[in-house]
Amino acid sequence: MSERMDYLSSARNVIGGLLGVLGYLFRFARLMLKPKAVLAAKLLAVQSQLAACIDAVNRKKAPRPRFTLSFRLLWIALLRWLPGWRKFAHVMQPDTVVAWHRGVARLIWRWKSRPGRPAVSREMQALICRLSKENSLWGAERIREEIAKLGYETPCEGSVRKYMVKPEKPRKPSGTWLPFLRNHLAIAWAMDFFTVTTLTFHTLYVLVILE
């Protein structure tokens, strides 16, 4: 029960962080529509308040801010896409942002490296190969059923299909299109009809005849 509660709490935090990032993106889109003078005034207002907060923290008159997950994700994105991002990291050290980035990278690597399906033993591989070779009309599902009848723990259908004997590919015909076209070039002709849209969005109808 406790593991389930921890999972729900983690999922709730992740969803909240992603929604916060979407909120940042929405604000960014709104700022893109503002005139430059308005943006400069807003930037000055924010910088003045930020300077006051930093001064209060440095004088230990205010506690250091707690950074939300969405704030950390935003700065991880800025680390990757904003040139000179270190100059804008005032309320935390740039090394802190780098540590956040490494933490996310470790989580992604851990997720990619999570254990998957158990490996198929050599004995099971040989059994699948033999059954598919002796019964060429059997598919992966039928072979799984026969393996279960023999008392083995059956692998998934994809693993069975992986170790089945592949049917031989049909031999390619000796002739190719290039010699055929070369031999019949004197008597061959072709016709094609298609449309072309111009830069002014007019449609041209083209008929091409090759002899």
pLDDT in tens, 78-100: 888 888 888 888 888 889 989 98
Answer yes or no: do 69 and 157 share one domain: no
The number of CA neighbours under 13 Å toward the Cβ of 131 is 23
C-alpha torsion 139→144→149→151, nearest 10: 150
The domain of 140 spans 122-163
Question: Residue 171 has what pLDDT?
Answer: 61
Answer yes or no: do 11 and 96 share one domain: yes
Q: Is residue 130 part of a domain?
A: yes
Answer yes or no: do 29 and 70 share one domain: yes
Asked if residue 115 has pLDDT above 70, the reply is no
Per-residue pLDDT band for 174 (boundaries 50, 70, 90) equals low
